[in-house]
Structure 1
């Protein structure tokens, strides 16, 4: 248990939309923590349950050690807090419980009776082995919303497999449609640059939990939620999945082009690359006017989007030749003035220096025990009455164990006994 250092006290924030909702969070890595961070941003009291340090394990969420980069302290030295962990765990309180011990299991069951939501992402069967499965906990607290996050769900032939975002991107079809065309240099399977199966699963889990809380408040009845990375990956194929189901033809990789819209891809300007994202026939006509080739908008091969898709191999090289004649900023200024969708391709330094990103409040700063100002990516949700707030920095391991257990009615002697038993 690590409580020698604690987070600075922040000014009180207005109650969030989920004020009064208490979440017991036994999830680790990304999908589960992304879900519970979203709930915490909206005002829920999220209690992050982590493994205590031991002889063979440093304790805590694995992502605490997934670096570099690590948070630097006031002297410029690396701390034990990886940026990966910091990005998914703000607004939570951390307690340490060893759920492999009988005393730790009993403690979790005691806490659950006073919680609204329970989130876990252990392998199928682990929670039952610990007596912490949905059936057991819903008996103790029938109003509980119990959310399991796994790679493949609680049922089906893959249920016992470990699930990882990278593997699910491959198995779930995303890598078959991501990357350069196979017939071009650099073609082949490509994963997305962030763990989108994890992130989407976390967001879908958030939606499911909110729906279950709505049902619970109306009926008094809790329920179990079964979230799977593979299910989510299949669902998020969106129009590409619909394309296959409608045609029976599996889409292929198209690089930076769009399968259903033309021109909608990256083009090279005179001094770099830019995005042209023409979404309808009117926008194509405006683009052609700006580009000085109005005759293309009247060409029967290119008038309608369906025509442009069919004649992609003819049109795109013609547009590429035109776009190489001017600098990218000249194009962007002219196209934006004409209301033709387009964009720059920024690196992350440019993203976080962008005046619009800053004006929208997408970077937030919060004091942390190790530094006076920790910069984090802010929540994108903008609610007029109950906006998300940053009330706490990502917690240190076990920072709130004593405080939280006292709130649940455990005395100092109770905690000492649990510590002696190796449960906390």
Structure 2
């Protein structure tokens, strides 16, 4: 599997000290755990923000215990995947001392991120109204499953939202069982929305000096992210269903069987279809009245699939990928995760980066392999400064600074 190291080119990120990050000087008090919140704050940390992760003593973020798999020290790879470039402080928010320490952290922060069930931060004395009254410039980001209204009591788990939010209804084979996406996609999308909302609120604060409350939730994020499927219902009242790997509006735009494994073919226009027909040795397909236009191909997708599958059975997916790409037809084999990283490396794209143990903030060395931040900035590239922290690793350091800010 290909690995990239920190470098000055801005692709896989720059080493510590190799220039400023876009968000240098921004301080984030991160009360979030699991995925949506930590993913958002990791992206911001990669871009230079100083993120302090507040965790429960002895327990920490729930995902610390979500294994297998785990690294050689027994830390969950799930946790490691979304918590680099952060410092961890263990605080008991149910005690007066812990609450006072949390308030002191927030007082010096620009942003607070939390994804407790709505109402929890209020009960702890860390609610948005109370904290923004003391700190008017604070950008306070709340992430929930179903909003702070009638859905406030519903637990926000990705699987649940994929089910009730309609994603599972359009995922899986026609006539088969509804299927969830193979990753917690709704959490990731919500984390992206949270990071965009935070940056927008910070831009507003630059202009006015005023912070604000940023609210995102899993259900609304999913409905937005379902784009064409959601629009089909909103505009035309069409309730889409499961079609396997086929597309409701384009054909052929699906996986097809080659001699050894499936290949994805994504034909988006008539020119590409003519090139596909030529490449598989059946140029007459593009002139066949059943397949002349995209609408024709959608109407006769089963017949077209049968013809293409027969042609593709003559060779393997890698062979057809090369032939079709050379002809200008979007195509590629269905890779496993390891093959996907190798493919990215062959294209010169960032894949995996190593965070050296030497930058582990003076603590016990914790070298870490990480998936690269996908955002390429020419002047202020992502930087990989700190491996994911041990639980409470930076508590003494940060509390000492709070008690002696000089």
- TM-score, length-scaled by structure 1: 0.88
Aligned counterpart, 1:173: 166
Q: In structure 2, do the counterparts of structure 1 residues 37 and 104 end up closer, same or farther at CA, with 3 Å as the change threshold?
A: same
Within 1, Cα distance between the matches of 2:390 and 2:20?
24
- Residue 158 of structure 1: how far off its partner (Å): 1.4
Within 1, Cα distance between the matches of 2:376 and 2:303?
43
1:349 is paired with a residue of what secondary structure?
helix
Report 1:226-237 matches (<5 A).
226-237=215-226
Within 2, Cα distance between the matches of 1:145 and 1:390?
25
The alignment status of 1:126 with 2:120, answered yes or no, reads yes
Does the aligned pair in 1 maintain the 2:141–2:198 contact within 8 Å?
yes
Within 1, Cα distance between the matches of 2:344 and 2:301?
36
Aligned counterpart, 2:399: 405
Within 2, Cα distance between the matches of 1:270 and 1:50?
51
Does the aligned pair in 2 maintain the 1:181–1:255 contact within 8 Å?
yes
Report 1:188-207 matches (<5 A).
188-207=177-196
Report 1:75-114 matches (<5 A).
79-114=73-108
Aligned counterpart, 2:382: 388
Report 1:9-408 matches (<5 A).
11-53=16-58, 59-72=59-72, 79-155=73-149, 157-182=150-175, 187-354=176-343, 356=345, 359-368=348-357, 373-408=367-402
Does the aligned pair in 2 maintain the 1:257–1:264 contact within 8 Å?
yes
User: More deviation in 323-332 or 259-268?
Assistant: 323-332
Does the aligned pair in 2 maintain the 1:13–1:391 contact within 8 Å?
no
Within 1, Cα distance between the matches of 2:206 and 2:46?
21
2:308 is paired with a residue of what secondary structure?
helix
Q: Deviations over 1:295-343 (max 9, x none)?
A: 1111222111112112212222122222212222221111111110001
Q: In structure 2, do the counterparts of structure 1 residues 355 and 36 end up closer, same or farther at CA, with 3 Å as the change threshold?
A: closer
Where do 5+ consecutive residues of structure 1 fail to align?
Answer: 1-9, 54-58, 73-78, 412-424
Q: In structure 2, do the counterparts of structure 1 residues 355 and 239 end up closer, same or farther at CA, with 3 Å as the change threshold?
A: closer
Q: In structure 2, do the counterparts of structure 1 residues 372 and 135 end up closer, same or farther at CA, with 3 Å as the change threshold?
A: closer
Does the aligned pair in 1 maintain the 2:317–2:332 contact within 8 Å?
no
Where do 5+ consecutive residues of structure 2 fail to align?
Answer: 1-14, 358-362
Q: Deviations over 1:330-366 (max 9, x none)?
A: 2111111111000111112222333636732221011
Q: Deviations over 1:178-211 (max 9, x none)?
A: 01111xxxx2100000000100000100000000
Within 1, Cα distance between the matches of 2:166 and 2:391?
37
Within 2, Cα distance between the matches of 1:212 and 1:340?
42
- Residue 48 of structure 1: how far off its partner (Å): 0.3
- Residue 244 of structure 1: how far off its partner (Å): 1.9
Q: Deviations over 1:3-26 (max 9, x none)?
A: xxxxxxx84342100000000000
- Residue 371 of structure 1: how far off its partner (Å): 6.2
Q: In structure 2, do the counterparts of structure 1 residues 193 and 343 end up closer, same or farther at CA, with 3 Å as the change threshold?
A: same
Does the aligned pair in 1 maintain the 2:64–2:75 contact within 8 Å?
yes
What is the count of residue pairs matched by the alignment? 386
Within 2, Cα distance between the matches of 1:340 and 1:88?
35
Does the aligned pair in 1 maintain the 2:344–2:350 contact within 8 Å?
no
RMSD of aligned residue pairs (Cα, Å): 1.6
Within 1, Cα distance between the matches of 2:347 and 2:324?
24
